[in-house]
Chains A and B, each alone.
Chain A
Amino acid sequence: LAAASFAAIPIKKQLVSHSAAPDACDAFQLCSRLDSRGQHGALAERVFQFLGVHPAMLLREDLRQGPYFNLLRLKARLMCGDFHLYRTRGLDPLRRVMGSSAQQARAFVREVVLSLEASNYGGSVVPPGGKMRDVYTVFVRDAGWFLRIELRMEGGRPAIVVCEPQECDVVLVLHGWFAHSEGA
Chain B
Amino acid sequence: MQGEEREDLQPCGACGRGTLRPKDMAWVRTGHRDDPRLCVRRRIVLPVCDACGDMALDHVLAAALDEALEDAYRQKRLRQQRAMISDLHKLGLTSTEIECAACLPPGHVTRLRRGMVASPRTFRLLHLLHAFSPGAVWALSRIDPALAEVYARVATDDEL
Contacts and interface: CB of A to CB of B under 8 A. Distances in A.
Contact of A81 (B10, B16, B53, B59): B59
Interface residues of A, number: 28
A81 B63 CA distance: 13
B99 interface: no
A154 B59 contact: no
A16 to B, nearest CB: 34
Interface in B42-68: 52-59, 62-63, 65-66
B159 interface: no
Interface stretch (A28-36, A90-98, A114-122): A90-98
A99 B34 contact: yes
Contacts of B55: 86-88
B54 A103 contact: no
Interface residues of B, number: 25
Interface stretch (A1-9, A19-27, A51-59, A126-134): A126-134
Given A103-B63, A127-B16, A131-B16, A87 B57 contact: yes
29 contacts: A81-B59, A84-B58, A85-B56, A85-B57, A86-B54, A86-B56, A87-B54, A89-B14, A91-B62, A92-B31, A95-B32, A96-B31, A101-B66, A101-B70, A102-B63, A102-B69, A103-B59, A103-B63, A106-B59, A106-B62, A129-B15, A129-B16, A129-B17, A130-B15, A131-B13, A152-B13, A154-B13, A154-B56, A159-B13
Interface of B: 10-11, 13-17, 31-34, 52-59, 62-63, 65-66, 69-70
